[in-house]
Amino acid sequence: MSTIKIRARENNGSVTVKALIKHPMETGQRKNRKTGDLIPSQYIQ
């Protein structure tokens, strides 16, 4: 399950937004130990 924490600060008319996103991620470089197949990559879209 993904979670998002967002913080925004205003300073002299400009806003800075920071986001921390916790999510499952796969690079696509790990292999399944049982089958030897690569685990597909998963990225935030």
Q: What is the pLDDT of residues 3-44, one digit of tens each?
A: 899 999 999 999 999 999 888 888 889 999 999 999 999 887
* Structure token digits, residue 21: 């996103």
Residue 2: is its pLDDT beyond 80? no
Query: What's the whole-model pTM score?
Result: 0.48
Neighbours of 32 (CB within 10 A): 9
- pLDDT given at position 44: 79
- pLDDT given at position 43: 81
- Answer for the pair 21, 3: CB distance below 8 angstroms, yes or no: yes
List all residues 6 or more positions away from 20 whose beta carbon is below 8 Å from its beta carbon: 4, 5, 6
CA atoms of 23 and 1, how far apart (whole Å) = 6
Q: 43 - beta bridge partners? A: none
